[in-house]
Chains A and B, each alone.
Chain A
Amino acid sequence: MRNEAGDLLNHFRQGNPEAFESLFHQHQRAVYGWILRITRNPEAAEELTIESFWRIHQAHMRFDPAQGFEGWARRIATRAALDWLRANRRHRELPLELCAKLPTPEQPDPAITAEIRAKVVLAFTRLPLNLRIAATLALVEQLPQKEVAAALGISVAAVKLRLFRARRLLRKELERQGITP
C-alpha cells in the first residue's frame, strides 16, 4: 500500500498525467476545504482549487516525494488563496450573509447579538492580511500552530507573534467600537 502511494508520487514527479489525475481526485476535497477556510468564499474556493492544482502540475519537477503531497499542496494552495485575497481587495470583506452560507459545524452563540457579530467581522476584515490568515487558521479553525506555520511557510514563533498582534489589534478595534472583549 505504502509502495503504491510512493510509486504514485514518483510517477507524478516524472510528469505522468494519470498520476496527476489520481492525486487530483484524492486531494481536491482537502485542498478545497483548506482554501475555503482562508477565503470563506465557496465559489472562489472552487476556482482557487483548480488554480492550485494547475500550479502543482506546473511545479511537479520540484516536488519531493519524501516530503509527502498533502503539506506541499497545502502550501501551494495557501499561496494561491493569498494571491487571490491580495488581488481582490473587495473580497476581503466578509458580509455576514456569506458567513451564514458556509458549511459550519454548529450554530452561533445566541447570546452574542447580530450587531456584535457584525462589529467583530468588521474588526477582523481590518486586520492586515498576514495577521488575518494566521488568526483564521489558528483561532477560528483551531488548527495546531505547527500546521499553520507549515502552510504559511513561517516558523511557529512567527505564527505566535502574528496571533499576538492580531489579538491586540482586534481588541483595540473592538474597544473603539464600544465592545469590551
Chain B
Amino acid sequence: MKNDRIRKLLQTALPPVKADAAPSRDLWPAMQQRLRAQPTAQTNLNGAWLIGVWLDGVLAVGLVAFAAFLPASIPLLLYCL
C-alpha cells in the first residue's frame, strides 16, 4: 500500500516518458560527423593505452624491487594478487 503511494507520488512528480518519444531531428548526420572525427579519438585512446602500459611497467618493476629488498613480503604480495 505504502509502496503504491510512493510510486503514485513519483509518477505524478516525474511523469513517465511516452513510449513513442523521438529525437527532434535525424541524428544520422551528427553520427557521421562523429565517425569522421574517430581517428582523433582513436589516437587519444592509443595514447591513454600507452600511458597505462607504461604505468603498469613501473608498478611491476617497483614490486620486484620491493620483493628483492624484503623477501619476507613475497607471501603477502602473492596473497594480495
Contact = CB atoms under 8 A, between A and B. Distances in A.
Interface of A: 21, 24-25, 28-29, 32-33, 36-37, 40, 42, 45-46, 49-50, 53-54, 57, 94, 96, 99, 102-106, 108-109, 112, 116-118, 120-121, 124, 135-136, 139-142, 167, 170-171, 174, 179, 181
A120 B16 contact: no
A171 B13 CA distance: 15
Contacts, number: 118
Interface string B1-40: 0110111111111111111111111011011001100100
Contacts of A54: 31, 34-35, 38
Interface of B: 2-3, 5-25, 27-28, 30-31, 34-35, 38
A45 B28 contact: no
9 contacts: A29-B23, A33-B21, A46-B24, A46-B25, A102-B21, A104-B18, A105-B16, A139-B10, A167-B3
Given A112-B9, A181-B2, A141 B31 contact: no
A155 B39 CA distance: 37
B71 to A, nearest CB: 42
Contact of A171 (B2, B12, B18): B2
A92 to B, nearest CB: 13
Given A32-B23, A141-B16, A171-B2, A50 B10 contact: no
B11 A140 contact: yes
A102 B12 contact: no
B14 A109 contact: no
Which of B15, B24, B30 lies at the interface centre, i.e. has the most chain A CB atoms within 10 A of its CB? B15
Contacts of B22: 29, 32-33
A104 B2 contact: no
Contacts of B18: 103-105
